[in-house]
Chain A
Amino acid sequence: MAELTAGPARRRPLVVRYPSVLIFLTCLGLFTLGATILSEGFGIGVISTSFVKTLGKTLCLCLVALGMDLVWGYCGILSLGHMAFFGLGGYAIGMWLMYERTRLIVVDSLAAGGLPATPEEISSGIAAQIFGVVGASEFPPVWAVAHSLPLQLAAVVLAPGLLALVFGWLAFRSRVTGVYLSILTQAMTLALSLYLFQNDSGLRGNNGLSGLQNLPGLENTSQAIVSIWFLWGSALALGLGYVLAAWMVSGKFGSVLRGIRDDEARVRFLGYPVEAFKLFVFTVSAVLAGIAGAIYYPQAGIINPAELAPIASIYLAVWVAIGGRGRLYGAVIGAAFVSLLSSWFTGGQAPDLNILEYRIQWVDWWTVLLGLSFVAVTLFAPKGIGGLFDLLAARRNPNRHGQDLGPDHGSLREKEADA
């Protein structure tokens, strides 16, 4: 920080430009190490396997929150449909997991029948197993590459990426911004979840994909071990995602992004193709979300269309807002803090509270508390939890003529201050 006052900044490595990267990676590493030591699978068994899974899932949520912060905190696009990308990633990997596991079972049971199985028998056997629940017995076209892990892994990236690309191209091209864009993204995820709810969507309707925690070929490995692997995977993905995001937002690209957030028209008159930038960030963020989903759902074990409902994406926005948008660690802290707190309250572990005659059961009242505290954060602490770090660091903020500037209106305020 001292450097700043000493003179104009020159080129420096990422960790210096963005010091939180090093701190964050250290914390993440220590956390993962700690969880491993305390786990049942590799350590002393203080924390249960299901809690290890919760931690792993939380890391994935942090990753999608990171993506959300990229588009919202840095680029000013409040996407209320990001969990659609998360869900798509989950579906993409879930299809392979379910296909492959069912295939092994079907092959086993056919082999026990006396004759070696033919490809047709295997295929129809798998289809009957998977789609019997929605009254179908043939593979829908979307399952065309479900047999191939590499192709489905590609789909984890491509499905959310393409959706974001097409949707973003349409939306940004017609200069839909602000709340309109938010509602449009919400409509997108609503449409997608309604579509998936149908039985003939080819993805098992509201049954969703299940049994994803069982990795094909690893039936004999206990979940205690697998959960740690996934924890490592989640931590690795989050760490890489953080470095990528920090790299993106720290240089000139980050400047342009924040410029777009604060005054889109001005950036346009500087000659930057604003729509292309938005599309780029939106797509990258969707891909991050898709990858997060692909690591999340094997830990959750089941995915169904309700996971893509608009409310999920709203919660994502809530996490990022509470954590503090416009700073990467804020998004991560928000997602981790609120989602862990949420599962503590809704898991029935929080003690009931007696107010006069009425007994407050947190399972019922947690959502109310969350909603209201969200309002409070928006009103009184727009910087969220991340704002605490500012206080600690006593970082000087720009003089904004006594007005508070949200990330949405960096330069608008000037007009209003004048007005």
Chain B
Amino acid sequence: MSKLRWYFVCITTVLLSVFTLPVMAQNADAPIQQLLQNHREIIAKSSRKTIAPAIDALAASGLAQAQTVLTRWQAKEMWRNKETGLFVYGEKAGKELAAFDFADGADLGTFLARDFKQLKPNSGIRGMIGAALVQFQLSGSFTDKMQALDAIERDAEASHLAALTKVLADETDAAVRQRMERLQGLLTIRFGETEEDRIVAIQSFEGDLGVDVRAALNPLLVVTVEAATAPPEGEDIARILTVGSEDLPREAAYDHLVAAGLATPRISRDDKRNALLANISDGSVAGVEVATLDSEAARDLAYAALADQGLVDRVATDSEVDATLAGFTFYERYTGSPAVAVAAAAVLSGIENKVAINQAFDLGLDALSLASIYFLAAIGLAITFGVMRVINMAHGEFIMMGAYTGYVVQQIITDYTLSIIVALPLAFVVTFGAGVAMERLVIRHLYHRPLETLLATFGISIALQQIAKNIFGTQARPLTSPGWLDGSLVFNDIVSISYIRIAIFVMALMFLALFLFVMNRTRLGLEVRAVTQNPRMAASMGINPDKINMLTFGFGSGIAGIAGVAIGLYAKVTSEMGADYIVQSFMTVVVGGVGSIWGTLLGATVVGSLQKAIEWLNPSNTLAAQTYMILFIILFIQFRPRGIIALKGRAAEA
């Protein structure tokens, strides 16, 4: 049924087209058509290797229609009449092609598509066409210009420089102009006609932090390694290399000589072995018994014997390699123009210094944000451990509970902003409750027995961790931050900080303020200080130490819960996240000095900065950074056992 119908349609179409076939009224002599005809073979061949002259000719023709040709060609809308060989552009609809003349855009009528051959440039060619189109787009609309500039940035060509220079003078939009000038400079560095032009362009970028500048300058410093018997001279020598250094290992140096035909080849241990194996006869190799070939020296001798017999090629022995290497000086020579390279190197080193300064600044920001994380994690501990001297190893698990509270809230309230607003107080309530329960049930019975408190809270920590694992599983749960916290505050190409980190930093400051307010300005704070300094005296003045201890512990735990939400936004929520922070938190409190919130702040700053600094020195390895940080802290405690801010005298011994 359907097949029948298809035949019917076909026949009808053929009949129709025969009747409607228009007469070709195309101007075959138009200059653009002539141009295309001149290059018809390579256009038809449509190969990336050979197409360049056609595109260049179009781009350089100065013809107004060239842009149309390139645009249509790129869009696979250029067709060639199989009979006349003339190029048209058109759109295919079903079996038909509506054709237009390149010369004047005249509608040529509708044809049978099979009478034309569609030109289908591959992506490589389309890219080249795109590059050629740039100069036309540069004088087009604002969107066109921006597209063109993007294209140049992506894939610059020498021709773009001229095109840019041409349009630059007439550009009125300041922003576009600025961008064009910058690009012009970058292009001049690469394609400038004279060395002087290029050097001037290079020097105009002195101190510029843009990645594009460094990308343009770095290729100018490309070097090749060469070797010569005499020390080289000339300004294009980048530097002399030492054989055996990291930049030029001994083997590489020798291989270089071999490749240059300046030395006899070495042989690898495996090849030597294989060569010997191939020449075994009657249990010996060149008269040497196989059984004795159990050292490299013996094998070298056997191999040399083989070489004497002409069975294998001679190779250089180790001592010969050394002797040969000693006779050569290795150096790097700039492949490009040395004057440009020297200028580029000078500018680049200036830029790199500036980059380093900015990186240090960026590192400072990173350190600050890490410090705020540690501070958040440690502030609850500063209360329970610092003020009450109760060591709570389950503190990390309170952080985890807070984070999971945030996660659960997000499952119920899908609006991220609202859910965070709900989660923060809820996390406080949950962990406050947990803290109070723990104080009542366990810690109360263990006051003044710090080691046993440590052990009991460890037990709780183990249990809580496993319970979380049983409920939420082992995989990490996401805690998504509101949309307005996405993105970063960007200072320049190097220095930036994400809004979420800023939020955490602000939060840390708020907690500091809250802590100071509660401890120094409220009745609770006063009573807490009284109870911790002298519980019996406080009790005799009508303060209930039991209640105060309970509330203080709850307060510290509650803050851990809120910190958990904040940390959950920044890192993933897992049942082990608490354990990840607990040691660092204690370190923060201990390094800072127990019993002082300012100490905790300092401790967090020190620990955070230190970790970032070590990571910077050894960027590939964050594990090593943590190792060295812990070592540092162990050593630090040697010299300041009571931390940075130390309480002295009798107060410290309480």
Q: Which residues of A contact B (CB under 8 A)?
A: 78, 113-121, 124, 167, 170-171, 173-176, 178-180, 182-184, 186-188, 190-192, 194-195, 197-198, 200, 310-311, 314, 317-318, 321, 364-365, 367-368, 370-375, 378-379, 382, 406, 408-409, 412, 416, 419
Q: List 20 A-B contacts (CB under 8 A).
A: A113-B273, A117-B294, A118-B293, A118-B294, A170-B634, A174-B638, A180-B590, A180-B637, A183-B587, A191-B626, A198-B621, A314-B462, A318-B458, A364-B466, A368-B467, A371-B459, A375-B460, A379-B445, A406-B449, A409-B448
Q: Contact at A187–B295, with CB atoms within 8 Å?
A: no
Picked from A194, A367, A409, the residue with its CB within 8 Å of the CB of B463 is A367
A187 to B465 Cα, complex, angstroms:
20
Picked from B451, B458, B638, the residue with its CB within 8 Å of the CB of A178 is B451
Minimum CB–CB distance from B556 to chain A (whole Å) comes to 16
A173 to B462 Cα, complex, angstroms:
32
Known contacts A115-B273, A179-B391, A364-B470; A408/B462 CB under 8 A:
no
A126 to B399 Cα, complex, angstroms:
47
Known contacts A78-B454, A115-B276, A198-B623; A374/B462 CB under 8 A:
yes
What B residues does A119 contact at CB under 8 A?
Answer: 295
Q: Contact at B470–A416, with CB atoms within 8 Å?
A: no
Picked from A116, A120, A310, A367, the residue with its CB within 8 Å of the CB of B290 is A116
What B residues does A419 contact at CB under 8 A?
Answer: 536
Chain B, Cβ-Cβ closest to A170: B638
B112 within 8 A of A: no
Picked from A116, A124, A194, A371, the residue with its CB within 8 Å of the CB of B626 is A194
What A residues does B462 contact at CB under 8 A?
Answer: 311, 314, 367-368, 370-371, 374
Known contacts A120-B296, A367-B463; A174/B621 CB under 8 A:
no
Picked from B291, B296, B637, the residue with its CB within 8 Å of the CB of A184 is B637
Q: Contact at B451–A408, with CB atoms within 8 Å?
A: yes
What B residues does A180 contact at CB under 8 A?
Answer: 590, 637, 641
What B residues does A364 contact at CB under 8 A?
Answer: 466, 469-470
Which one of B633, B637, B638, B639 has the highest number of Cβ atoms from chain A below 10 Å of its Cβ? B637
Q: Contact at B641–A194, with CB atoms within 8 Å?
A: no
B263 within 8 A of A: no
What B residues does A374 contact at CB under 8 A?
Answer: 455-456, 458-459, 462
Picked from B293, B464, B623, B641, the residue with its CB within 8 Å of the CB of A116 is B293
B510 within 8 A of A: no
What A residues does B252 contact at CB under 8 A?
Answer: none
What B residues does A412 contact at CB under 8 A?
Answer: 448
Minimum CB–CB distance from B453 to chain A (whole Å) comes to 8
B242 within 8 A of A: no
Minimum CB–CB distance from A258 to chain B (whole Å) comes to 15
Minimum CB–CB distance from A371 to chain B (whole Å) comes to 3
Known contacts A170-B635, A364-B469; A371/B460 CB under 8 A:
yes
Picked from A116, A188, A416, the residue with its CB within 8 Å of the CB of B294 is A116
What B residues does A188 contact at CB under 8 A?
Answer: 630, 634
Chain A, Cβ-Cβ closest to B295: A118
B249 within 8 A of A: no
B167 within 8 A of A: no
Closest 8 CB pairs of A and B: A371-B463, A374-B459, A371-B462, A191-B630, A367-B466, A116-B294, A375-B459, A378-B456
Picked from A184, A318, A372, the residue with its CB within 8 Å of the CB of B634 is A184
Known contacts A167-B634, A364-B469, A368-B466; A114/B290 CB under 8 A:
yes
B269 within 8 A of A: yes
B277 within 8 A of A: yes
Chain A, Cβ-Cβ closest to B594: A180
Q: Contact at B455–A317, with CB atoms within 8 Å?
A: yes
Number of A-B contacts (CB under 8 A): 166
B446 within 8 A of A: yes
Minimum CB–CB distance from B71 to chain A (whole Å) comes to 51
Minimum CB–CB distance from B287 to chain A (whole Å) comes to 15
A186 to B451 Cα, complex, angstroms:
14
What A residues does B461 contact at CB under 8 A?
Answer: 371
B353 within 8 A of A: no
Minimum CB–CB distance from A154 to chain B (whole Å) comes to 25
Q: Contact at A197–B460, with CB atoms within 8 Å?
A: no
Q: Chain B 373-399 against A: per-residue CB contact (8 Å), 1 yes, 0 no?
A: 000000000000000000100000000
Tell me the count of chain B residues lying within 8 A, CB to CB, of chain A.
58
What A residues does B463 contact at CB under 8 A?
Answer: 367-368, 370-372, 375
8 A Cβ contacts from B521-578 to A: 536
A228 to B449 Cα, complex, angstroms:
44
Chain A, Cβ-Cβ closest to B454: A179
What A residues does B470 contact at CB under 8 A?
Answer: 364-365, 368
Q: Contact at B459–A372, with CB atoms within 8 Å?
A: yes
What B residues does A198 contact at CB under 8 A?
Answer: 621, 623-624
Q: Contact at B449–A409, with CB atoms within 8 Å?
A: yes
B327 within 8 A of A: no
A365 to B470 Cα, complex, angstroms:
8
Minimum CB–CB distance from B117 to chain A (whole Å) comes to 54
Q: Contact at A197–B590, with CB atoms within 8 Å?
A: no
Minimum CB–CB distance from A3 to chain B (whole Å) comes to 34
Minimum CB–CB distance from B172 to chain A (whole Å) comes to 58
8 A Cβ contacts from B423-460 to A: 442, 445-446, 448-452, 454-456, 458-460
Picked from A176, A317, A382, the residue with its CB within 8 Å of the CB of B637 is A176
What B residues does A379 contact at CB under 8 A?
Answer: 442, 445-446, 456
Chain B, Cβ-Cβ closest to A178: B450
What A residues does B465 contact at CB under 8 A?
Answer: 367
Known contacts A187-B587, A198-B621, A375-B459; A176/B273 CB under 8 A:
no
Please give 17 more A-B residue pairs, beta carbons under 8 A apart, in addition to A194-B630, A314-B462, A406-B451: A113-B277, A115-B277, A115-B290, A115-B294, A118-B293, A178-B450, A179-B451, A179-B454, A186-B583, A194-B626, A194-B627, A195-B624, A311-B579, A364-B469, A374-B456, A379-B445, A416-B448
Minimum CB–CB distance from A207 to chain B (whole Å) comes to 14
Q: Contact at A120–B269, with CB atoms within 8 Å?
A: yes
A118 to B302 Cα, complex, angstroms:
14
A176 to B280 Cα, complex, angstroms:
70
Chain A, Cβ-Cβ closest to B635: A170
A370 to B458 Cα, complex, angstroms:
11
What B residues does A194 contact at CB under 8 A?
Answer: 623-624, 626-627, 630
Q: Contact at A78–B269, with CB atoms within 8 Å?
A: no
A176 to B293 Cα, complex, angstroms:
61
Q: Chain B 269-293 against A: per-residue CB contact (8 Å), 1 yes, 0 no?
A: 1000100110010000000001111
Q: Contact at A183–B295, with CB atoms within 8 Å?
A: no
What B residues does A175 contact at CB under 8 A?
Answer: 641
B631 within 8 A of A: yes
A110 to B416 Cα, complex, angstroms:
64
B586 within 8 A of A: yes
Which one of A183, A409, A419 has the highest number of Cβ atoms from chain B below 10 Å of its Cβ? A183
B198 within 8 A of A: no
Which one of A78, A115, A120 has the highest number of Cβ atoms from chain B below 10 Å of its Cβ? A115
Q: Contact at B638–A118, with CB atoms within 8 Å?
A: no
A171 to B631 Cα, complex, angstroms:
12
What A residues does B190 contact at CB under 8 A?
Answer: none
Minimum CB–CB distance from B294 to chain A (whole Å) comes to 4
Picked from A167, A187, A406, the residue with its CB within 8 Å of the CB of B633 is A187
A375 to B470 Cα, complex, angstroms:
20
What B residues does A186 contact at CB under 8 A?
Answer: 583
A175 to B445 Cα, complex, angstroms:
28
A371 to B630 Cα, complex, angstroms:
27
8 A Cβ contacts from B291-329 to A: 291-296, 298-299
Chain B, Cβ-Cβ closest to A382: B452
Chain B, Cβ-Cβ closest to A375: B459
What B residues does A197 contact at CB under 8 A?
Answer: 623
Q: Contact at B452–A375, with CB atoms within 8 Å?
A: no
A60 to B467 Cα, complex, angstroms:
30
Minimum CB–CB distance from B399 to chain A (whole Å) comes to 17
What B residues does A118 contact at CB under 8 A?
Answer: 293-296, 298-299
Q: Contact at B294–A378, with CB atoms within 8 Å?
A: no
What B residues does A317 contact at CB under 8 A?
Answer: 455, 458
